[in-house]
Amino acid sequence: MKQKIKKTKKKVSQSMAIAALLLNVLLMPGLGTIIAGRTSEGLLQIILLVVGIALSFFLIGIPIVILVWIWGLVTGVQLIKEAEQ
């Protein structure tokens, strides 16, 4: 019989959520996400950022970089909202 394993998200403190948002927006998208405990999502953000920067020489990467930065911003805001609950 298979049992479902319930993943529990570790609640992030308000100060950690704010730090994650600032890192995601000001330094590098994904860095704050990783620090807040969302490792796979953060790694994906960093990988897409690097790919976008590499492709920006061909102009196709610029929208990718912008979208990843927006994704990092949204993730930071989500972390702050989760910390408030």
Domain ranges of the chain: 14-84
Q: What is the pLDDT of residues 23-35, one digit of tens each?
A: 999 999 999 999 9
- CA 9 to chain CA centroid, Å, is 15
CA distance 55 to 65: 9
pTM of the model as a whole: 0.82
CA distance 59 to 33: 27
E strand or H helix at 68: helix 61-84
Evaluate whether 85 touches 18 at the Cβ level (below 8 Å). no
If you average pLDDT over every residue of the chain, what do you get? 90
